[in-house]
Amino acid sequence: MNVSLYLAAPGSRFWAAASTVSLAEAVARAAGLGYDAVEVMPLDACNPDPEALRATAERHGLSITGLATGYVALEQGLTFTHPDPEIRRQAVRAACRCLDSARRAGAPLISIGVIRGRLQGGASREEAWPHLADCVRECGLYAGELGLTLTIEPGNRYETDFVHTVDEGLDLLDAVNLPSVRLQLDTFHMNIEEASPADAIRRAGPHLAHVHFADSNRRAPGWGHLDFRPIAGALRDAGYAGAIGLEMLLIPDLDAAARQGLRFVRRLFGDV
């Protein structure tokens, strides 16, 4: 099982994967612990420089699983469901620049999370949903041109107003109808939103392109109360052959959390 460590670039507003060390140092530590890859939340499309990030990873024998678009919303305030059409256009352009960066970094995918946005200006979900589908479709078309994948990650209700569950994610995939747009699941969000994470994984089935692991408290797997055994079984049943990304709070520190997460995943899937 390929295992990647999710890292937010220093200075990022994304608190869930914040680290106190430089990105280059974090990549080196991930390699030293035995990770296969890293996944990165940039500060913008050129920070870190995609070619430099690729070179750093390759120097340590790692690949780059993907780039996250969360910075577009967190750092730039741009979302796919903003009531202002110009803001939506800017969000699409920013996501497409992230796709360019992913190609340059050698990453096969970018993820669509909080860039979906929140309801604003009195708009209803029904009014905003077509905007979301249109923006995802436009980015998905560009991803297909580049030979990359755009993943939709269902997120919990406290972080976004759109696509909380696998079923809602499948609805969006149906609306977009592009092979380059697939699902990405996260056990932390699923623990909040899904009645059965394992059943939800089975429903995702062939649409599943990437998976994040974090425990019920968003700490490293094994440091909360989430039972990962049925989740692992469901991934096997679904024929999932992709990576497991550890997107978790790096507490008490990067090394301790990363070591625990990697050890847990290796044992869960019988790789040790």
Q: Which residues lie below 8 Å from residue 85, measured CB to CB, with a gap of 6+?
A: none
- Residue 153 annotated to the active site: yes
In angstroms, rounded to a whole number, what is the distance separating the alpha carbons of residues 213 and 235? 12
Considering the candidates 153, 159, 168, 194, report the single residue annotated as catalytic.
153
Residue pair 244/208 in contact by the 8 Å Cβ criterion: no
Known catalytic residue at 247: yes
Q: Does residue 179 have a cis peptide bond before it, meaning omega lies within 30 degrees of 0?
A: no
- 137 contacts: CB under 8 Å, gap ≥ 6: 175, 176, 177, 178, 181
Q: How far apart are CA 61 and CA 56, in angstroms?
A: 9
Rounded to 10 degrees, what is the CA torsion of 118, 144, 104, 246? 50
Q: Choosing from 138, 193, 194, 247, which is the catalytic residue? A: 247
The set of catalytic residues is: 153, 247
